[in-house]
Structure formats: structure tokens, C-alpha cells
Structure 1
Amino acid sequence: MSNTAVTAPSPVPDFPQTLGHPRPLWMLFMTEFWERFAFYSVSWALALYIVAHFYHGDPAGQAWASKIYGAYTALIYASSIFGGYVADKVIGYQRSILLGALVMGLGLFVVMLPSRELFLFGLAMVVVGNGLFKPNISSMVGQLYGPTDDRRDRGFTLFYMGINGGALLAPLLTGWLASYFTDTPMQENYRLVFGAAGVGMLLSLCWFWFGRRGLHGVGRPAPAAASRVRVAWVALGVAVAVPLVYLLLAFVGGSGLQWLLGLLFVGVAAMLIVEAMRHDRVQLQRVIAMLIIFAFNILFWMFYFQLGTSFNFLAANMVDREMFGGWMFPVGWFQSVSPLAIIVLAPLVTQVWSFLARRHLEPSIPRKFGLGLVFNGLGFTALMFALSRVVAGHGGLIPFWPLTLCYVLQTVGELCLSPIGLSMVTKLAPPRLVGVAMGGWFLSLAVGGNLSGLLAGRISGESGMTAASALSGFTFSFWLLAGAGVFLLLVSPLINRLMGGVR
């Protein structure tokens, strides 16, 4: 197959407009909405299901559940690198999205099956399908606008709201299903969560299948690369990739996967440095600055992704969730706090940056990352206070508010850090290796995700999470995050100089 891009570099079609944006944006919005509904449904229930079903509720299963969650999260992000390449070089964006959605949907139904082997095989299908879907649906949003169209950023903002809309709905609906839908044991209800996620993924597939005609060829391969033989080759690659991912989940484990991800990250860093050295000193310094920020990004997500493991175990076993009239707040609903906070706080954070920018006081990229780390760390202080000062007076349980406040503070940290990450990469990367640098960004999230599972496994230990182990782990998390954030704020002038005027 040719090693050139297969997506036709045609002008942007004259799309019909809806609410001031190209009409296909809203089709992509809903396609992403239902895919994110499926993804976040699995994310909140995954570790809890493993403990409930494969360990019959024994807390000793929390460590393995955390490691599987971390490895799954890491592979989700790492697979995006290869999925983007397939769309760019082999079959185009539309076909990548359709194939990825189909594989993900099938995988979510396989996850429902009671066998541990089939469960992990289903997760492997979700990982591979997500790699074909996730990076390419986002890329297509940008292709709806011309290079000088000032609506592009607003279009991505609307699309981002679709992501958070799906993330908000998923725990609310499926958390209710898991808690109240039937009288069967809880692990049976978790299977309903995975089934609902599968239905959501099929809705995403159908939405894109019927709506793609409105794209007027955007995202289709060039005529010379439109052969269905290429699709068959990619499908064969999927058939090979799924068992490989299964082996990584089932036998390599979190520690082994960390070595593989680390080596891959070092390889990406070496490629970027070598390419930068072919340019000039300024480009080399920019790459060094970018790699330093990548390292701090790993640290942020290592602790942020506790929401799927240790925070879930805390909510299920150590939080007083009884509300008015004896009603129990579903565990899954805690996972809706972050997307709700993003929807509420994102406009406010944007206004703060604009206010500071007008006065030439807007923080630089390294300072924003430092603030993100600090706010992430501050979230753990609420849990530290509750576990050390409040738990003894509430029958061994902590109140509802500390975990909620933790999610809100971590979301403020995410808003300081995450939205500028991809933009930073495009500004600092060598022009010929922007795609490789994007791969480095996703790899930093993957490494952080895997480390989050290893950390949660240490917090749970061999016998499951206790108040003492949670307090120890969360105290460690606070000090490491706060220390790293303050350090980054202090050295940000140096990193700013390395960035060579990029802000």
C-alpha cells in the first residue's frame, strides 16, 4: 500500500448551515455523544464489576480490578496513535470510524459474558475499536471548516460539549440501571450497564452511517485509495490486534505494560529530538520544553484516573450515601460530577483567562499546567480531612461532600491543563513530526492511566481498601501533586524561555 495520505485534499464543501455551523457538525456531535455514553458507562462500572463478579464482592479483588482498569485506560489512549495512522494512510476517516464503532459495539456485548477470558477479550475489542474511532471523529470536525474560518474553535467547543453530555448522562442512566432495574445480584445489574453501553455504541454507529452522506465526501479516501481491499486488510489487522491486546491485559499486566509504554515513549521522544536537531537550537529547545510538560502530564492523569478505581471503591464502601427518605445515592452518579462541573465551570474559566489576557496577565502554558497539578492535589485534601477527622464520628463512613468536592477541584485542574494540551503540541512540535508529537501526547495519558491502576492497586493492597490505606495513599497523592505543581510554577520561566516565544 502507498505510504501517502489517502484522504482527498479537496476544498471544504459549501455545507448547509444550522445554528451558525455546518450541518454535519451536529451529526458528528451526536455520533460522539453516544460513543462517549458507551465509554463512560464502562469506565465507571468496570472495576466494581470485576470485584462483584469475579471475586464475589471480596475486597481482595480490588487490586487486580485496579490494574485491569489502568491497563485498559492506557491501551485506549495508546491505540489512538495507530488508529490515526490507519485513517490518514490506509482507508480514510469515514471507514475507520464505521469499522471502529462496529468492533466497539460487538466488544461491549462480549464484555457481558460471565467468563473472565471472554470479559478480557471483549475489553480488547473495545480498545482496538476505540483506536479506530476516537482520534478520527475529532479530526473530521476540523475538516468541516476552512483554514481561515474563525468558527473552528467554537465548533470544537460545541463538539466538546457533546463529549461531556455523553459523559454526564452515562453514569446517571446506567448507575440507575445497576442499582434499581432488577432484583438480581449486583453483578447481573452491572451487565445491564455493559448492555446499555453496547446499545449506545450501536446508536453511534447508526447515527454516523445514515448521516455520513451529509459530509459530501469529507473524510472519504481519495479515489486511488478507495478499494475495499484496503478495508479487508484493516479488518484482518483488527483480527490480529484484538488477541494481542487480550494478551497484554491477561498476561503482561500493569507492570509489564508500563515497561512497554515507557519504551515506546522514549522512542517517540528520541524521534522528536533527532528531528529537532536537524532544524536549529530554537526547535530543539521547544521539543525539550514539550517533553518536560509531557512528564508533568503523566503525573496529572496518574492521580486523576483514580476516579475509576480507588474513588469508586471509596464511594461504594466508605461514603455515607443515604439521602432523604432513606434513598441511596447510586455509586455511579459520582462519575457525573466531573462532566457536570466541566459544563458549568468551562465558560467561567474561559472568561477568567480572557480577563487576564486583556491585562497581559494570562498564565503561560507551563503555569497553567502547574495550576492544574495544584488543583488536582487540592482535591485530595478534602478526602484526607474526611478520612482523618470525620470518619470516626459517622460509623466508619465519611460524608457525601468530601468526595464531591474532590471531583470538582480536580475538574478545575483539568480545565487548566487539558484543553491547551493538543494546541501546545501543534505549536512546539517539529513541523514534519506533528503527528508523532500528538502520539507522544496520547502516550503520556496512556502512561498516566496505567500508573493510576498500579497506584490504586497499592492503596487497596491484598485485602482491599481500608480507611487507613486510603488516607495513606491520598496523602501521598496530595504531596506529590502539590510539590510537582509548585515546582512547575517555579521553573516555568525557564520552560517559557525554552519555548522560544510560544504561548
Structure 2
Amino acid sequence: MSLLPPTEKTMFGQPRALATLFFTEMWERFSYYGMRAILVLYLVAPPDGMTPPGGGLGFSTPDAVAIYGTYSSLVYLLPLVGGWVADRLTGPRRSVLYGGITIAVGHFIMAVPIEAMFWSGLLIIAMGTGLLKPCVSAMVGDLYAPDDTRRDGGFSIFYMGINLGALLAPFIIGTVGQDVNWHLGFALAGVGMLIGLAQYIAGWKGLGDVGKAVPNPASPAEKRKAGFQTLFVIVAVAVVFLADHFIFGGFDVADLTILFTIVVLGIAVFYFIRLFRQPNLTAIDKSRLRAFLYLFLAAVVFWAIYDQGGSTINLFAEKFTNTDLGPFTIPVSWLQSINPIFIIIFAPIFAAMWTKLANRAPSTPMKFAIALFGVGISFLIMVPAAMQAENSEKSAVWWIVAVFLTQTWSELLLSPNGLSVTTKLAPAGLLSQMLAVWFLATAVGDSVGGQLVRLIDVVGWTGYFIVCGIGTVILGGLFLLVVPKLKKLMDGVR
């Protein structure tokens, strides 16, 4: 049932409380995507830069992309912890507040021009995102009864808010970061998060009981156990880094990011085993969890390709793409706004289409299959541009526009519907943790994608786009074959 009062006010047919969550997520994504637009550029910038925006960290392209993928993966991995905290300790509403504060602090730490502060800020931002991200989505789900036909449309509108923040951020943070100072750009990301926190607090009462309750409170013994486990992880990580520094003379980016990828894959396997072993699961719960596992694997493949837009495609644009429009040269970071522009254009169209089609719309598994085809084709579109690059020619920016357009249509088939179906498939009392597992698919995909890019050194840019594109299309075809089975496993959930 919905946690809003029966007399709740509506706006354009949707609960008015959706606006509070819409803008909270919009400003959080503004901070995230703004920093992301300049992150990989800062990582590869030479450290001795004397003119604006100043020096970067001077990493090679493969290492920079691997770091980017590892950070992106961590951002979506830590919601596993954040989901547990919300479900067992704080409730989703307070987790969003604490997470937003932590994110803002992380961005302001990154604004200090000291390398150690940069790495510390990245980690703190990831921790804050882990608290905030799964809980906002869970609260959106609580605005609706399970059979409310407005539900998918509401999630699509919410998803448009994410992309409104992503649209504005590169123009503001990207411009300041690239043309003025990298660290000032990081600070602006923190300001954006503070704005989001202010409006979230202002809309607190209008949320009713949404997100207030702790769904499955932890016992004192469980709290102590969680505290010891947290301490163990902190000590273990510290030991690894100290040993690497003092015994091996410093960390190797390639080795650490590969190790991280292996750890993330192991966490995914462990977490699904744990989900299936939860007590009090009904036969229907277990059937739906099996269906969710298939959707999870499809999402991993999707994000491994899609999220290279901020790393591989971003660096390709910087090195090999002509971004001149007449006398004006478009900053490379601005290209990160292309996808959100398309999302804002097409999200209302997709939302209206799903609402109008209702039960005649394609099932969620079918949408996932089509999304895999689409994201695979998006990389095949890059093949002509890569061939030009390997002939020492600058490719037209329209190839990248076409990539983002294709990925946008694919994203709208998978991401908002994935969020929505996760809230429907989640067993009672496990909603926040299930949403955290959904975001874990992005963590696994981003980490794997960060390692895939090393193939460029083996097969070149053209070969890389061909291998990834064709491979993803083939996997989409295989997923299409299991769609009928998944519809049965989902037991009435579309």
C-alpha cells in the first residue's frame, strides 16, 4: 500500500511528494555527473599544467579509465551497505539525509588541491552515495500501491529528474573545471548537493510516512556484529594499502583495479546466495528472485558498455573528435550532456507510452533484451569514427551524438523499468536491500567495463568497438530466448 495519506495531493496525476524526491535526486546527480564529466580528464591531464585549469594526475588512458570504472563501481557497490543501514538501523528517509551531507563533504574535500585529499574525497562521496541512492528509489516505490498504474510512469518521471541534473552539470561544472580550475569544479559539485539537501528538508513533512519506519530493525547483537565487521573491513583495507606501499614500493593501478573487479564479482555471487537463503521466503519469492538474477546479469552487460560513455567515449572525443562548431570549440565535458538531453526529450514519451499501453506493453524481460541489442549497436556505430582515428583523421562529433541517442533509447527500456520491477519483485522487508542489489549490477558492469578498455592496446580502437558491439548483440539474442521462462518465474509481475 502507499504510505501517503488517502487524501494526498497530486501534481499532473502523480503524488506531489514525488517532486521532493525528484529534486533531491536531481541535485545529487548534478553533483555526481558534474564531477564525473571532468574526472577522467583530470586523471589524464599532465601534472605540470601551469595554465588553467592547472595540473592533473598524469595517468595513462588505460589506468585512468580503470580508476574511473573502479570509482563508478564503488559508488554503486556501497548501496549494499547503505541498503542494510536503511532497512535495519535508520530507515530510508534519514539515510537520504545523512548520505547527502556525506556527499557534500566529499566534494569539498576534493576541492583542496592535494592528491591525498582527492582520493579521500572520492571515497567519502562513494560512501555517501551508498547511503542515499537506494533509499530515494525505495521511497519513490512507497508513494504507490503495488497495483497503481501510475507506478511505471512515476519512475520514468523520477528518472527524468536524474537526467535533468546530469544535463546541467557538465555545462556548469565542466566549464569551470576545464577552463578555470579542476578543484573549483569539484567544489561546485558540493554546492549542488547542498541545494538538494535544502529542498529535501523543506519537503520533509509533505512525505507523510514515506521512508520513516525502519523496515526490519536490527537487534543489539546484530548491531554489535555489524560494528565488528565494519572495523575488520577498515583494518583489512588499511593493511593491504600499507603492505603494498612499504613492501612493494607503492600501488600498481592495474593490479589494484583488477583485484577490485574480482572482489566485486565475488560480492555479487555472495549476495545472491545470501538473498536466496533469507528466512521466511515463500515459493513465489524464490521464483521471483530467480527471475531477478537473470535481469541482474543482463544489466551487468548493459552497464559495462553504456557507462563507458563517461570514460572511453569521453577520452575518444578529446583525442580523436573534431568538436569545432564554426569559430566555437565545444568543451569535451559538454558532450556528457547529450545523453541527458535525449533522456529529457524521450522520457516523457516513454512514460506516456507505457501508461497508455498498460498491460499491452512489452514485458520487462523483453525490454531488457531490446536494450541489450541497442547498447551493442551503439558501439558498432563508433566503428567508422574509430577507423578515421586510426588513419590520423579527426572524426565528426555526430558519431558520438548517434551513440548517445541509441544508448538513450536503450537506457529508457532498461533502467527505469529495472528500478520499477525490482520494487515489485522484492520480498517483504527486503526492498532497500533489493534495490541495493539492483545498483550492484551497475557496480559489476562498471568494474568489468573499466578492464575491457585494456583490449584497446591489443586490438586497437576499431577492433575494440567491433568486439564489444557484436558480443553484446549476441548476448541480447541469447537473453531473448529466455524471455518466456522469465515471464513464468516472475509470477504475474510484468
Q: Name the CA distance, whole Å, in 1 between partners of 2:15 and 2:490.
A: 35
In structure 2, the gaps of 5 or more residues are: 49-54, 218-222, 242-250
TM-superposed CA distance for 1:489, in Å, is 1.8
TM-superposed CA distance for 1:329, in Å, is 1.1
**Alignment match, 2:397:** 400
**Alignment match, 1:487:** 478
Taking the TM superposition and a 5 Å limit, the aligned residue runs for 1:170-189 are: 170-180=169-179, 182=180, 189=181
**Alignment match, 1:320:** 322
Q: 1:474 to 1:94 in 2, by over 3 A?
A: same
Q: Name the CA distance, whole Å, in 1 between partners of 2:354 and 2:212.
A: 38
Opposite residue 338 of structure 2, the aligned amino acid is V
Task: Please give the per-residue CA displacement for 1:405-456, whole angstroms capped at 9, x wherever unaligned.
Answer: 0111111111121222133334445556555543432222210011111122
**Alignment match, 2:435:** 438
SS of alignment partner, residue 363 of structure 1: coil
Conserved 8 A contact 1:111-1:121:
yes
SS of alignment partner, residue 160 of structure 1: helix
Taking the TM superposition and a 5 Å limit, the aligned residue runs for 1:393-472 are: 396-431=393-428, 433=430, 435-459=432-456, 469-472=460-463
Taking the TM superposition and a 5 Å limit, the aligned residue runs for 1:145-224 are: 151-180=150-179, 182=180, 189-215=181-207, 218-220=210-212
Q: 1:246 to 1:124 in 2, by over 3 A?
A: farther
**Alignment match, 2:345:** 344
Q: Name the CA distance, whole Å, in 2 between partners of 1:86 and 1:377.
A: 36
Task: Please give the per-residue CA displacement for 1:139-166, whole angstroms capped at 9, x wherever unaligned.
Answer: 3334445667655554444332221111
2:99 aligned with 1:100: yes
Q: Name the CA distance, whole Å, in 2 between partners of 1:277 and 1:236.
A: 27
Conserved 8 A contact 2:67-2:257:
yes
TM-superposed CA distance for 1:319, in Å, is 0.2
Q: Name the CA distance, whole Å, in 1 between partners of 2:486 and 2:383.
A: 32
Opposite residue 186 of structure 2, the aligned amino acid is F
Conserved 8 A contact 2:69-2:447:
yes
TM-superposed CA distance for 1:30, in Å, is 2.2
Opposite residue 89 of structure 1, the aligned amino acid is R
**Alignment match, 2:464:** 473
Opposite residue 411 of structure 2, the aligned amino acid is E
Conserved 8 A contact 1:375-1:409:
yes
SS of alignment partner, residue 287 of structure 1: helix
**Alignment match, 2:261:** 258
Q: 1:13 to 1:353 in 2, by over 3 A?
A: closer
Task: Please give the per-residue CA displacement for 1:117-155, whole angstroms capped at 9, x wherever unaligned.
Answer: 221111000011111112222333344456676555544
Conserved 8 A contact 1:376-1:410:
yes
TM-superposed CA distance for 1:101, in Å, is 1.4
Q: Name the CA distance, whole Å, in 1 between partners of 2:358 and 2:155.
A: 21
Conserved 8 A contact 1:46-1:69:
yes
Q: Name the CA distance, whole Å, in 1 between partners of 2:354 and 2:98.
A: 40
Q: Name the CA distance, whole Å, in 1 between partners of 2:14 and 2:487.
A: 36
**Alignment match, 1:26:** 19
Task: Please give the per-residue CA displacement for 1:253-311, whole angstroms capped at 9, x wherever unaligned.
Answer: 2211122222221122223444599744x665543332223222111111111112111
2:34 aligned with 1:41: yes
Q: Name the CA distance, whole Å, in 2 between partners of 1:288 and 1:403.
A: 37
In structure 1, the gaps of 5 or more residues are: 1-8, 183-188, 226-230, 462-467
2:308 aligned with 1:311: no
The CA RMSD over aligned residues, in Å, is 3.7
Q: Name the CA distance, whole Å, in 1 between partners of 2:308 and 2:425.
A: 30
Opposite residue 324 of structure 2, the aligned amino acid is E
Moved more, 241-250 or 477-486: 241-250
Q: 1:192 to 1:99 in 2, by over 3 A?
A: same
Q: Name the CA distance, whole Å, in 1 between partners of 2:493 and 2:145.
A: 24
2:110 aligned with 1:119: no
Q: Name the CA distance, whole Å, in 2 between partners of 1:18 and 1:364.
A: 28
**Alignment match, 1:271:** 274
Q: How many residues align?
A: 469
Opposite residue 89 of structure 2, the aligned amino acid is V
Q: Name the CA distance, whole Å, in 1 between partners of 2:407 and 2:178.
A: 26
Q: Name the CA distance, whole Å, in 1 between partners of 2:36 and 2:293.
A: 28
Q: 1:378 to 1:276 in 2, by over 3 A?
A: farther
Moved more, 242-251 or 256-265: 242-251
TM-superposed CA distance for 1:112, in Å, is 2.4
Q: 1:378 to 1:137 in 2, by over 3 A?
A: same
Q: Normalised by the size of structure 1, how large is the TM-score?
A: 0.81
Opposite residue 269 of structure 2, the aligned amino acid is V
SS of alignment partner, residue 322 of structure 2: coil
Opposite residue 455 of structure 1, the aligned amino acid is L
Conserved 8 A contact 1:111-1:194:
yes
Q: 1:62 to 1:114 in 2, by over 3 A?
A: farther
Q: Name the CA distance, whole Å, in 1 between partners of 2:127 and 2:36.
A: 16
Taking the TM superposition and a 5 Å limit, the aligned residue runs for 1:281-292 are: 284-292=286-294
TM-superposed CA distance for 1:342, in Å, is 1.3
Q: Name the CA distance, whole Å, in 2 between partners of 1:278 and 1:442.
A: 22
Q: Name the CA distance, whole Å, in 1 between partners of 2:6 and 2:354.
A: 34
Q: 1:456 to 1:111 in 2, by over 3 A?
A: farther
Identity of aligned residues (%): 35
**Alignment match, 2:295:** 293
Q: Normalised by the size of structure 2, how large is the TM-score?
A: 0.83
**Alignment match, 2:332:** 331
**Alignment match, 2:140:** 141
